[in-house]
Amino acid sequence: MSQNLLFTNDVATALGNLVKDAAPATIHVIADENTARLVVPRLGLPASADLITIPAGDDAKNLDTLASIWGHLVDNGATRRSLTVNVGGGMVTDIGGMAAATFKRGMRFINLPTTLLGAVDAAVGGKTGINFRGLKNEIGVFAPADAVIVSTRFFVTLPMHELLSGYAEMIKHALLTDGREYRRLIGTDVSLTDAAGLLPMLRDSVMIKKRIVDEDPCEKGVRRALNLGHTVGHALESFSHECRSPLPHGYAVAYGLLAEMIISHIELGFPSSALHEMGAFLKKTYTASSLGIPVQPLPAISCDDYDRLIDLMSHDKKNATSNDINFTLLEAPGRPVIDRTATPATIVAALDILRDMTS
């Protein structure tokens, strides 16, 4: 189930070689409205390649969009020997991989992430899915892409909040290794790092994830460590959509990381020094005033919202039951502890501290 990862900024050549080797019956390119216009024409694909354009934004990662992709594949002669190329951010690779994995019980696909978040997270590891009833990635399957082309070529036009969304996942990976890598990342000013300089950092981060996924491809054990920050993060993200003030996924993960580091401190004695370093980094880098980024750093939550946030956490896919909210916690950087639970009182305390540290 190990994925073929290609780290290169010569994207057209890499993709051309992959398509040639695959010798597909037909080629179908799935892209959102932005990448269809800005990226797909630069890939050098054959004129016969069929373009499937879907709406941009995470709100479009739903059953209706998935059904429209299936319908397009049917109408344009796709078979199990066809190939899809998913071009875009995590939304596109998630839903495109889901469409390919389920169409005629599975067709081949290549992921070409065009955002840092997509490259470091969604495109790698074989998770596909859609949102359902307001819950993140509620429906999905494990299905690895035939190949993933990891490039920073398309990052130069990304707004800073998009880069920071991906950078949060890189910090998560670093926390799973050791304190040195974690401190290196929070000590780096990503706004001053160009695309070429980012590629080796991205490769290091992706390879951390690949090693974990190769050991546990279907998330039966150690791979659950990659859920660090996501139990609280997904709840914050879903809540922000309910409030019509959407929080970018990576921002939600960043604040989820801090919240779960707080829970780790309460439950496992995670070092307070690393906890405060993370809080200072987030306050400096992810706030609305930082770097001129016009994004609210955290939903305007109050004590009255805690029950709803805990309810959203109770629906998390990692939970064995809705009464036992599952977390990946940390004893220290590089020492994750999977399948931990926390009481509502502990979660409330962590949310209180999170609000204090980021206000």
The answer on 336 and 221 residing in a single domain is: yes
The answer to the question of residue 256 being in a domain is yes
Average pLDDT over residues 225-238: 95
pLDDT at residue 291 in the model: 47
- Note whether 277 and 225 are within 8 A (CB): no
**What pLDDT is recorded for position 309?**
97
User: Is residue 56 scored above 60 in pLDDT?
Assistant: yes
In total, how many domains does the chain have? 2
Q: Mean pLDDT, to the nearest integer, of 44-53?
A: 96
Please state at what angle helix 249-268 crosses helix 272-285, rounded to 10 degrees. 160
pLDDT tens per residue, range 177-226:
988 889 889 988 877 777 777 888 999 999 999 999 999 988 889 999 99
Residue 273 DSSP label: H
Task: Tell me the CATH number at 324.
Answer: 1.20.1090.10
Residues 172, 131, single domain; the answer is: no
If asked whether residues 240 and 110 sit together in one domain, one would say no
The pLDDT of residue 245 is: 83
In a domain, 316, yes or no: yes
Q: What is the pLDDT of residue 1?
A: 54
Same domain, 167 and 297: yes
Tens digits of residue pLDDT in 126-181? 999 999 998 888 999 999 999 999 999 888 778 888 888 899 999 999 999 988 88
In a domain, 295, yes or no: yes
- Asked if residue 64 has pLDDT above 70, the reply is yes
Whether 210 is covered by a domain: the verdict is: no
Whether residue 25 is predicted with pLDDT greater than 50 in this model: the reply is: yes
Residue written as token pair 């040639």:
20
Q: Are residues 103 and 171 in the same domain?
A: no
Q: How large is the average pLDDT for residues 227-233?
A: 96
- Answer yes or no: is pLDDT of 86 > 50: yes
Q: Are residues 141 and 64 in the same domain?
A: yes
Q: Mean of the pLDDT values across residues 238-246?
A: 88
Residue 318 sits in which domain range?
A: 162-194+217-358
- pLDDT of residue 292 exceeding 60: no
Same domain, 121 and 189: no
CB 54 within 8 A of CB 60: yes
Length of the chain: 359
209 near 245, Cβ under 8 Å?
no
- 106 and 169 co-located in one domain: no
Quick one: tokens of 31?
């892209």
Together in a domain, 92 and 186: no
Looking at residue 319, its pLDDT comes to 82
Share of the chain above pLDDT 70, in %: 96
Mean pLDDT of 21-39: 97
Residue-level pLDDT at 161: 82
Do 233 and 96 fall into the same domain? no
Is residue 91 pLDDT above 60, yes or no? yes
DSSP codes joined into one string, 182-239: HHHHHTS-GGG--HHHHHHHHHHHHHHHHHHHHH-TT-SSGGGGGGTTHHHHHHHHHH
Which pLDDT belongs to residue 289? 47
The pLDDT of residue 160: 82
Q: Compute the distance between CA of residue 138 and CA of residue 318 in angstroms, rounded to an integer.
A: 11
Percent of the chain scoring above 90 in pLDDT: 72
pLDDT at 358 over 80: yes
Same domain, 107 and 122: yes
Q: Examine the fold and report which residue of 130, 157, 184 is the final residue of a domain before the chain moves on.
A: 157
Residue 176 within a domain: yes
Does some domain include residue 208?
A: no
Q: Are residues 147 and 264 in the same domain?
A: no
Residue 201 located in a structural domain: no
69: domain CATH number?
3.40.50.1970
The reply to whether 292 falls in a domain is yes
